[in-house]
Structure 1
Amino acid sequence: MTDALPTPAYVFDEKALRARIGFLREHLPSAKLCYAMKANPFLVESLASCVDLFEVCSPGEYRICERLKIAPAQIVLSGVYKERADIFRIVGQCGDKATYTVESPSQLELLSDAARACGLRLPVCLRLSSGNQFGMDKAAIGRIVEKRNELPLDIEGIQYYSGTQKKFEKIRKEAEMLKAFLSELKENYGFAAKRLEYGPGFGVGYFQSDAPVDETALLRDFCALFEDLPCGLVLEMGRFIAASCGEYHTKIVDIKYTDGMRYCIVDGGINHLNYYGQTMAMKLPYIRHHKTNGDAAENLWTVCGSLCTTADVLVRSLPLAGAAVGDELVFEKAGAYSVTEGIYLFLSRDMPRVYVRTEDGSLVLRRDAVSTDKINSKE
């Protein structure tokens, strides 16, 4: 099915993606699922009928939702920077069907202005900071909740996200903190939240050295943390949904032996592939080797990309049997962030093609190769 696939390319598996959502639905039965589309916007179309909500963090992400005709009721408009013209346009289109996050007092004022201009009460979630530039502290949220009746906004609840690849103990502490904060808001201001939108930041095992995780047990223990939550729970996830549903395909275009080291040069590179937690290509991700020749002795290879920098090393000490020009290397668990975090413009190389493998196994081209030389020069 991928024998003639032009490389480099991403392949995102729709069947695996929907199976992933089914697994999460089964083991998180009381929660709504919100897909953080920054993880991989190419999956939005496939997920439109599978998830409850999409976290949309920029005007560009919103335009993607527009083109795909995502229902306003599925949109949570987030982002640390909300530009006035964009907000007024989006509120004019989505009105009180979408949910809007508030990350600062100035965003509160902006959304209030937009609500008054449209004659609507907009549903909002107040983002609680985890100690960085995002969101507001508890005192600021308390002041907003206290004057909520003066606002043209309906405060639905709290949004909280502190990072990715978190250990369960940190998640447990956050759950206790969030429940306590909701109780404080009820006790101090008579405010009963309708929802908690929480990004748990569950970990993804990208490397063969990572300890295996029993996800069924993980989600069971997670659900127990929120059994006594006094409101609805929305789980905002990107990596945990998408990572396992995508692959990155690249071909070996040259091999060489230099000072006793074996090198494979591939037609892709670090401008296309990004594993969270990788350090100088020392960790070994999950890779399949599609060979063009027969059996041969296994040797250790350093796999390098096609960029003119010594940093372009995808993996060191990769065991390969009979590596040869024309072989394909398939990097697994590339469904989240690589397609959007790559340093695409470096060296003016083409951006990879993007394919989706549909439920029937066929490959559909979602984006052809894109030349970047015109972006990097005067027209």
Structure 2
Amino acid sequence: MSWRILFLALLLIASIGVGAGFDYHRFVTTPVAISGDRTTLDIARGTSLHALARQMTEQGILKHPYYFMALTRLQGDQARIQAGEFELTAGMTPPQVLARIVSGQVIQYPITLVEGWTFRQALAAIDAHPRFGGESLTALSDDELMTQLGRPGEHPEGCFFPDTYRFPRTAKRLDILRRALERMDRVLAEEWEKRRPDVPLATPYEALILASIIEKETGVPAERPQIGGVFARRLQQGMRLQTDPTVIYGLGVRYDGNIRRADLREPTPYNTYVIQGLPPTPIALPGRESIRAALQPADDDSLYFVAKGDGSHVFSATLDEHNRAVRRYILGQH
């Protein structure tokens, strides 16, 4: 009788084991429960496997937390759980969810620093992004910011590469500035190595200054090399650059949308109608194409350009040609 009871007990255990095996197989091959197309799983730093399984069950993602724990241990991933926000999409199975979590594929948020923005405009955009943590950047002085970035004493204008950057929710505002600063270092070094040997620029920083002016003067991207050529020849011939964006930058908050004759005569450090050569710093964030235009300018004979009103320019080699273009496109005298 005892042997029969033992046999029945073993048979019951085996049946339970087979049933559990089928159950586990169904668990790992069935998509997790997601309401809609996607949901966000936010894992706090230091979350244990048990706590994660419980959190996912409470969110309705899992029905069998212990199977998820078993899956994680069987794959040896219990110590590889990453913190952060993870996007889970409809149709993902538990192994796919686990793979995303341990890979660290956290949700990335974009922010764009626009070519031609000033440094302070870039700071305002970063501060305004709702996903950033950390202290406000616009509340800090330029010196304080550059010191925190490891560049004490350096002027920040133009030194941050304009681009779209992606970051996790845990990123700080200063992280974006650091990435943009390092990116500009790389881009400027790359373009400096490919410069024309006759460009009238002694240092990469001078190239950055000229590139920022080209960036502000360019309405049609294809014209950048031509505009770069005009400025290069003016520098080579000892002519003043005479470019309005530098006047505007020198006026600062006093600029009201109009440049007056008195503004053109005002001796600010940036007024290239008054000063010889380049201004002391960049005036905006230049992109790669403007840096390239400063270092590989078009080789023609133009020394002047005037806006046509549609974003493009008329380029002239002589003052007479330029004056005719001014009369036509600025004064409306045909």
User: Whose Rg is larger?
Assistant: 2
Same fold (TM over 0.5): no
Structure (1/2) with the larger strand percentage: 1
Q: Which has the higher contact order (CA 8 A, sep 6+)?
A: 1
Q: TM-score, normalised by structure 2?
A: 0.24
